[in-house]
């Protein structure tokens, strides 16, 4: 590997061990082996998963591909219907060709089948294997047990109908009512006033507040942003029931350490109309940075408040020749390296490996060379990456294609899509549980790196996705949209200044009657804004620094306003005391003496060195990041935001009686006590702990 680590059915064969929702583990059914014919497939086994069956066999030397045949049979294994070729295994579908597997899916759960596999040399077929018969798993949950007995409309119709909004809300409410592990919260409303619900799932109960959930390093699945791509949504509804009512000790152990957030339908209006966009026609997956629509605003505010550290975003993809499960990380070049690497490890290090084990074809989105999967920051995977969230896009191949020839039947196609998504989301939970330490480490490094306002800004451009080492799961990597010279700013500003009109002025880029101002959108993102003479200052020294210029710079590809760039005011050495009035921005500067910030003034220090105390009393704003201070730091009575991130401070730190929202105190090394008292909002650290040699007092006791 290129990275540092290599009420429907139950879980996959792997998850029967790690996340199984039933008491019975998966068992392989193996064919008896008579005398083999030349080139006959041997060693066929079948393991039942959640809505699929994993077939594995010994490869035949020289075979170019394999055909998988399925026949419905009765309890006596006599055929009850016609045999059908349901799958074609090709070498590019998995990373381990010496152990071929195929996840057969699309059948109605609970039925009994017989399977055979044969090799082909080009177009020349070889003898079928000895058949294997087995009964597939029924829909998950005991029909006699309350809660487990719930079923979605999609399940009760065996995929003939998708779950409509009325049934979704009834099903969601029933899970909420019957499981102590679940709290359903409404995070917003669609334009047509449909609720946007989110399952908050933990064990034995979910944390009571968004802030408490954030402390558990939660993960989130966004299931249905495009209304006409509902396969992931059905999987999410099933998974919510499984997590709500399973007795599996491993699963409960995972839920006792984190919180699972599931947003089944962010685009309820589009789902009701079976349309890609919302009721205005807006593609919501081109709006997560701009947040012009109430649906995307609800989701972005949820990310701000609940602070998930990892995410999957569910879609469907129309290319019939691609994999079962195309995936892609956040590619925008402003995404911190560690977030990109962890996202790639989740995909290539885990999903490719487990997909090869369970028979699913995971590959990079665009693995057939299509012009998809680029670096637009408006797309959720890129927006989340810029918000320091390890994440991936998930695309369900929307047609069977050459490798799944039995999906001309609509219900078969829908079942395969949904159960492949369900497999992915359970694997996501398993990956998160096994790697939460690495994810949080990458997130902490990203937050401190972004807050330091270091390095160039790329307005539009993606990181390359290299072809996976042979054998590659797919044919080609997604294309590269490398930034041109006019899309790069080598010397970033200290901040952006917005006029009153830019900040609070009325806008027309939103639905009638629900247009929001830039001020409201920046607040939804959770960014710190300082009121100064003549306007509003947005420092780049913030955890989401990579996204700030993409909305506020006149050079941005899809921005909100062309704000004024504010250059640093001091970059060299200042000998003696420094008194700040107005706005002072120090970038890599050295101050050989104390700093005093006067009432109503603003100090921004990025990567500086201060030999003396720093004192701010009644400042308009105070930002200190990636700096060294040889002395105490006192910030008292600020009327605007306070940020201290990634500093080394030799002396006590006092954050007292500040009124400009929750002070951010994260990733600092303090040689002395850390005291926070009387602040209007309790300081936060975004789960990036401070190292403090002295005691931590009052509001900072847990930071």
d(CA 333, CA 282): 26
Name the pLDDT band for 354 (thresholds 50, 70, 90).
very high
Predicted local distance difference test score (pLDDT) of residue 468: 77
Least confident of 298-302, 380-384, 401-405, 471-475: 471-475
Mean pLDDT, residues 6-19: 32
Q: Is residue 185's pLDDT more than 80?
A: yes
Name the pLDDT band for 577 (thresholds 50, 70, 90).
very high
Name the pLDDT band for 17 (thresholds 50, 70, 90).
very low
Token pair recorded at residue 96: 């381990």
For residue 1, count other CB atoms closer than 10 A to its CB: 15
**DSSP letter at 345?**
I
Q: Is residue 7's pLDDT more than 70?
A: no
d(CA 41, CA 58): 7
Predicted local distance difference test score (pLDDT) of residue 30: 72
Taking the mean position of all CA atoms in its chain, how far away is CA 19?
A: 20
Residue pLDDT, tens place only, 646-696: 999 999 999 999 999 999 999 999 999 999 999 999 999 999 999 999 999
Helical segments of 265-408, H only: 268-273, 294-306, 337-344, 352-358, 380-386
Mean pLDDT, residues 186-192: 98
Q: Is residue 23's pLDDT more than 50?
A: no
Mean pLDDT, residues 564-574: 96
Predicted local distance difference test score (pLDDT) of residue 469: 72
Mean pLDDT, residues 233-249: 98
Predicted local distance difference test score (pLDDT) of residue 105: 98
Token pair recorded at residue 697: 């007092």
For the chain, give the percent of residues with pLDDT over 70.
Answer: 95
Name the pLDDT band for 21 (thresholds 50, 70, 90).
very low
Residue pLDDT, tens place only, 122-150: 999 999 999 999 999 999 999 999 999 99
Predicted local distance difference test score (pLDDT) of residue 366: 80
Name the pLDDT band for 31 (thresholds 50, 70, 90).
low
d(CA 91, CA 86): 17
User: Between these two residues, 9 and 175, which has the higher pLDDT value?
Assistant: 175
Mean pLDDT, residues 46-53: 97
> pTM surpassing 0.85?
yes
* Among 611, 629, 701, CA closest to 665: 701
Residue 700 three-state SS: coil
* Among 310, 299, 303, CA closest to 217: 310
Q: Is residue 87's pLDDT more than 90?
A: yes
Name the pLDDT band for 26 (thresholds 50, 70, 90).
low
**DSSP letter at 82?**
-
For residue 436, count other CB atoms closer than 10 A to its CB: 18
Least confident of 306-315, 464-473, 474-483, 543-552: 464-473
Q: Is residue 2's pLDDT more than 80?
A: no
Q: Is residue 424's pLDDT more than 90?
A: yes
Greatest mean pLDDT among 16-20, 88-92, 471-475, 543-547 lies in 543-547
Q: Is residue 531's pLDDT more than 80?
A: yes
């Amino acid at each position: 590997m290129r990275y540092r680590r290599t009420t429907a059915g139950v879980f996959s064969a792997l998850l029967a061990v790690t996340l199984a929702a039933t008491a019975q583990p998966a068992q392989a059914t193996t064919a008896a082996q008579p005398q083999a014919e030349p080139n006959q497939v041997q060693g066929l086994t079948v393991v039942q998963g959640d809505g699929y069956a994993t077939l594995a066999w010994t490869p035949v030397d020289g075979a170019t591909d394999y055909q998988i045949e399925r026949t419905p049979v009765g309890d006596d294994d006599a055929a009850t219907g016609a045999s059908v070729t349901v799958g074609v295994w090709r070498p590019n579908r998995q990373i381990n060709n010496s152990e071929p597997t195929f996840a057969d899916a699309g059948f109605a759960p609970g039925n009994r089948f017989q399977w055979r596999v044969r090799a082909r040399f080009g177009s020349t077929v070889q003898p079928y294997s000895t058949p294997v018969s087995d009964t597939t798993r029924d829909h998950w949950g005991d029909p006699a047990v309350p809660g487990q007995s719930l079923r979605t409309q999609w399940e009760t119709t065996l995929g003939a109908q998708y779950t409509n909004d009325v049934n979704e809300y009834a099903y969601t409410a029933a899970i909420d009512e019957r499981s102590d592990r679940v709290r359903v919260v409404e995070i917003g409303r669609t334009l047509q006033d449909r609720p946007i619900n989110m399952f908050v799932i933990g064990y034995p109960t979910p944390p009571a507040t968004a802030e408490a959930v954030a402390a558990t390093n939660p993960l989130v699945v966004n299931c249905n942003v495009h209304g006409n791509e509902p396969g992931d949504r059905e999987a999410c509804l099933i998974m919510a029931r499984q997590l709500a009512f399973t007795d599996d000790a491993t699963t409960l152990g995972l839920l006792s350490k984190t919180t699972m957030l599931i947003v089944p339908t962010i685009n309820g209006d589009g789902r009701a109309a079976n349309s890609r966009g919302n009721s205005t026609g807006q593609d919501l997956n081109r709006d997560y940075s701009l947040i012009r629509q109430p649906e995307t605003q609800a989701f972005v505010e949820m990310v701000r408040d609940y602070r998930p550290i990892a995410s999957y975003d569910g879609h469907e993809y129309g290319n019939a020749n691609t994999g079962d499960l195309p995936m892609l990380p956040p590619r925008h070049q402003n995404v911190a390296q560690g977030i990109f690497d962890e996202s790639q490890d989740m995909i290539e290090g885990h999903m490719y490996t487990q997909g090869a084990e369970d028979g699913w074809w995971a590959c990079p989105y665009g693995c057939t060379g299509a012009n998809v999967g680029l670096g637009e920051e408006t797309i959720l995977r890129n927006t989340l990456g810029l918000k320091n969230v390890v994440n991936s896009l998930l695309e369900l191949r929307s047609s069977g294609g050459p490798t799944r020839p039995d999906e001309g039947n609509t219900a078969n196609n829908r079942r395969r899509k949904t159960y492949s998504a369900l497999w992915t989301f359970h694997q996501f939970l398993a990956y998160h549980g096994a790697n939460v330490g690495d994810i949080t480490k990458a997130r902490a490094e990203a937050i401190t790196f972004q807050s330091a306002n270091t390095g160039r800004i790329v307005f539009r451009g993606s990181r390359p996705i290299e072809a996976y080492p042979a054998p590659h799961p797919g044919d080609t990597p997604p294309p590269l949209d490398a930034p041109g010279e006019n899309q790069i700013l080598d010397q970033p500003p200290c901040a952006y200044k917005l006029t009153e009109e830019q900040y609070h002025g009325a806008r027309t880029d939103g639905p009638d009657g629900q247009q929001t101002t830039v001020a409201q959108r920046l607040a939804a993102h959770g960014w710190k804004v300082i009121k100064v003479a003549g306007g509003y200052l947005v420092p780049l020294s913030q955890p989401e620094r990579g996204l700030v210029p993409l909305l506020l710079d006149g050079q941005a590809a899809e921005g909100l306003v062309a704000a004024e760039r504010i250059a640093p005011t001091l970059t060299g050495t200042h000998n003696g005391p420094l008194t700040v009035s107005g706005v002072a921005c120090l970038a890599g500067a050295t101050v050989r003496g104390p700093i005093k910030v006067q009432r109503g003034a603003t100090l921004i220090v990025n990567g500086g060195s201060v030999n003396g105390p720093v004192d701010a009393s009644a400042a308009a704003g105070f930002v200190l990041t990636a700096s060294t201070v040889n002395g105490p730091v006192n910030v008292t009575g600020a009327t605007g935001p306070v940020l201290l991130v990634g500093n080394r401070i030799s002396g006590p730190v006092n954050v007292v009686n500040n009124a400009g929202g929750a002070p951010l105190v994260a990733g600092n090394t303090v040689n002395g006590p850390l005291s926070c008292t009387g602040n209007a909002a309790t300081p936060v650290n975004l789960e990036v702990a401070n190292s403090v040699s002295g005691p931590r007092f009052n509001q900072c006791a847990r930071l």
